[in-house]
Amino acid sequence: MAQHNAFYAQSGGVTAVINATACGVIEACRQAPDQIGKVYAGHNGIIGALTEDLIDVNQESDEAIAALRYTPGGAFGSCRYKLKDIETHRTQYERLIEVFKAHDIRYFFYNGGGDSADTCLKVSQLSEKMGYPLTAIHVPKTVDNDLPVTDNSPGFGSVAKYIATSTREASLDIASMCATSTKVFVLEVMGRHAGWIAAAGGLAGEAEGEPPHMIVFPEVAFDRKKAMARVDESVKRYGYCVIVVSEGARYEDGTFLADAGNTDAFGHRQLGGVAPTLAGMIKQDLGYKYHWAVADYLQRSARHLASKTDVEQAYAVGREAVALALAGKNSMMPAIRRISESPYQWDIIATPLAEVANREKFMPPSFITEDGFGITADCRQYLLPLIQGEDFPPFENGLPKVARLSLTLAERKLPDFTL
């Protein structure tokens, strides 16, 4: 087989383990020198391919690449940028082909969530629709866990572990304070459309009555009266109430509890502040003293508390993506399959990208308790394997070490291109 170059890029919101996937991709490429020459990384995702901002990954030492395994964030820069259709925006695809040709790129690895899968799907049509021989593989990543087909998404397990741990720790705090001070604690977590992360908060408690006492899912229409009754009951019974609320919590009519009016580049509304909104309601309706926290980026960058299972899966999908590419499987995504529940066993299967792109996986109704405020035993059984094991990063001088890359750009061979 002839040797060609590979392109890897990160897309969408980054995670604590997306760089572990990068590590898997790059290490697997380095181990296939007969087929893969250089690896280029897109500076800021697909944009780097369009503007020919290609990071020459060959300049990075094996040690630096290995350090990606424990470095959060997106080391090569991510982007929120969705390619339009080939039919209507042919120029962009022609440019991609120009850049790929100029750098002899025949393998394309795109590491992202649902929106990015759509971009990767479009790029994977280059060979069929425009005659350029490219093998495009989508590598799954999203803290939201809303990608279909795959049993879970790399990135989610670590956020789940962080939120479950933080909920347990903060619950011990408020439990000690509630006699004379704070009665209600509200933790806002990510998950715009699907309540997977909020559900993970439910793992904090194990026995009946243990916090959290209420989870507010985006999947369940918010009913203020019912919610306040639940909070009041919890304070009266346990002395305090711990709430985990999804940023995507919404009313029956679809209005978000915290609608800030911003939209991001994908046209999604930027949310923020459901915790203070809910806390304000509680103060108003029940008069209880409250505290609230918004974990925001902390939750998805908390590599210091990553799930070992998650790190292993993130790394494995990266390696498997390269295996699929080398086998010529265009337009595919390596998906995680749960083989057995106890002991938890998983493997990776190849899934056609067309089955993945632009579809969201919501929490099944059987995962939410009948009252709408908790997780069921089925949900717990699904979630628990994903947070198993610790994979602490090395610490230096009291702080987690992170990869230091040189991020050298490859020499440009083409004229400038305006997005």
**CA–CA separation, 34 and 402 (whole Å):** 31
Rank residues 132 and 196 by Cβ distance to its own copies and give the closer one: 196
Name the active-site residue from 53, 118, 144, 151: 144
Residue 53 is labelled as binding a ligand? no
Torsion of CA 376, 377, 381, 386, to 10 degrees: 40
Q: How far is the CB of 329 from its own copies (least distance, A)?
A: 28
Q: Cβ neighbours of residue 59 under 8 Å, at least 6 residues apart?
A: 406, 408
**CA–CA separation, 370 and 357 (whole Å):** 31
Q: How far is the CB of 22 from its own copies (least distance, A)?
A: 11
**Amino acid identity at 214:** M
Rank residues 158 and 351 by Cβ distance to its own copies and give the closer one: 158
Residue 162 is labelled as binding a ligand? no
Q: How far is the CB of 157 from its own copies (least distance, A)?
A: 9
* DSSP three-state, residue 260: strand
Residue 104 annotated in active site: no
Rank residues 61 and 270 by Cβ distance to its own copies and give the closer one: 270
Residue 144 is labelled as binding a ligand? yes
Residue 269, CA distances (Å) to 83, 193, 247, 353 in order: 19, 11, 11, 26
Rank residues 215 and 271 by Cβ distance to its own copies and give the closer one: 271
Residue 247 is labelled as binding a ligand? yes
Rank residues 126 and 258 by Cβ distance to its own copies and give the closer one: 258
Q: How far is the CB of 172 from its own copies (least distance, A)?
A: 3
Q: What are the φ/ψ torsions at residue 305 (nearest 5 degrees)?
A: -125, 30
Residue 318 is labelled as binding a ligand? no
**CA–CA separation, 258 and 189 (whole Å):** 13
Q: Cβ neighbours of residue 378 under 8 Å, at least 6 residues apart?
A: 366, 367
The residues pairing with 36 across neighbouring beta strands, listed in sequence order, are 4
Q: What are the φ/ψ torsions at residue 222 (nearest 5 degrees)?
A: -80, 125
- Beta strands (DSSP E) in 25-103 are 36-42, 54-56
**Amino acid identity at 265:** A
Residue 299 is labelled as binding a ligand? yes
**CA–CA separation, 124 and 353 (whole Å):** 9
Q: How far is the CB of 261 from its own copies (least distance, A)?
A: 5
- Known binding positions for diphosphate: 13
- Known binding positions: 13, 142-144, 190-192, 247, 297-300
- Known binding positions for substrate: 142-144, 190-192, 247, 297-300
Residues annotated as catalytic are 144
